[in-house]
Amino acid sequence: MSSGKSVMSDDNSSSLADTYITPTYDRSLMLVKGRGSTVWDAQGKSYIDLLSGVAVCSTGHCHPAVVAAIRKQAGELIHCSNHFYVPGQGELAQQLALITGLSHVFLANSGTEANEAALKLARVRTGKKQFIAFENGFHGRTKGSLACTYKPQIREPFGPFTTECTFLPYGNAEILQQAINDETAAVIVEPVLGEAGVIIPQDGFLRQVREICDEKQVLLIVDEIQTGMGRTGRWLACEHEGVTPDIVTLAKGIASGFPLGAMVSKEGLAFAPGEHGGTYNGGPLACAAALASLMIIEDLLPDVERKGELFRRALIDYHPRVKGLMIGITVGDRCRDIRDRCRDRGVLVNCAGNGNIRLLPPLVITDDEITTAIGIIREVIDDIV
């Protein structure tokens, strides 16, 4: 820096961000510390975090085992090129193959990159250019994945797209059967629509999609960016219906906050050398964080659905949609007011699409924290709605 000294502090960092960071985010709170399901702002106020970095910090904030794994690896090797074997990559790929029941792993840095890889793989291996996605689905903001993201306000300003995508009503398998044609490379679908506000399809929908894809001989890509890594009480949400995709995409909770994504594909479906890649993909620190996270999540999995049921029962008056620790509540145009008042009272929630409050608490959240947070949410909703 020109002054020769640091200008960073908790007091001025937010104003510097407002001055120099491209204004793509609407934010008013600076968080500086986190432990478990609790975070603190720059003034020392604590909050129960029911967003967990948008389903990222599933093991809680700064889990000691994850911190230790990152510190250890940082003292040995922070980065090396994928021209060489990278420490931890093979072990992580093996674990992801075992978890998904698939064979080939491509490591990326984010969810949108994982979906980009999935779309590229489907296109290059099938030789077809058309895809089918679903209304209100969200698959990312880069050009390929954005083409399959439904929300017009996000997608349309950046068209036209080289990826051709048709959008169908979510939950309607019959329409899917009619929409697939000889140029369809793959169907991409979320088991639960997270960004739309935790929209859960009727039982059997995903299984029907799998059967139709088999019948029509097109690939099935299941986007588990938000639903995977134990969020719904299984490693993958598609397990609830006994569905194995041809390709599954993962990110968010996979490495407890360290940037990492993954595309996992079935035997015989993989990139050839030179077809895809990345400088930072699957770096040593990311692999260390992910391997530690997977061990923690494995222990947490048996209790996820029970905790989700605590939310369901306590919020029953508001007709919640619950899948493990994904919870959605429709509150309409007062969503932002509810979010802000919950924040003022020490609980962080999120406004997703279509007037829906979305709760994505860390998998480590305690029963007492659930009780406290829900009590505040109920009081706020009753006061506003």
Catalytic residues, by residue number, are 138, 223, 252
Q: If you ran DSSP here, which 8-state letter would residue 271 be given?
A: P
Task: Give dist(CA 80, CA 279) in Å, integer.
Answer: 9
Task: Give dist(CA 300, CA 170) in Å, integer.
Answer: 30
Count Cα atoms within 13 angstroms, Cβ side, for 206: 23
The continuous run of DSSP H or E covering 38 comes out as: strand 38-41
Residue 251: which of 261, 236, 242 has the closest Cα?
A: 261
Q: Helix (H, G, I), strand (E, B), or coil: what is residue 248?
A: strand
Q: Are 65 and 292 in contact (CB under 8 A)?
A: yes
Specify burial of residue 51 (Cβ count, 10 A radius: 0-12, 13-18, 19+).
buried
- Strands 164-168 and 130-134, sheet pairing: parallel
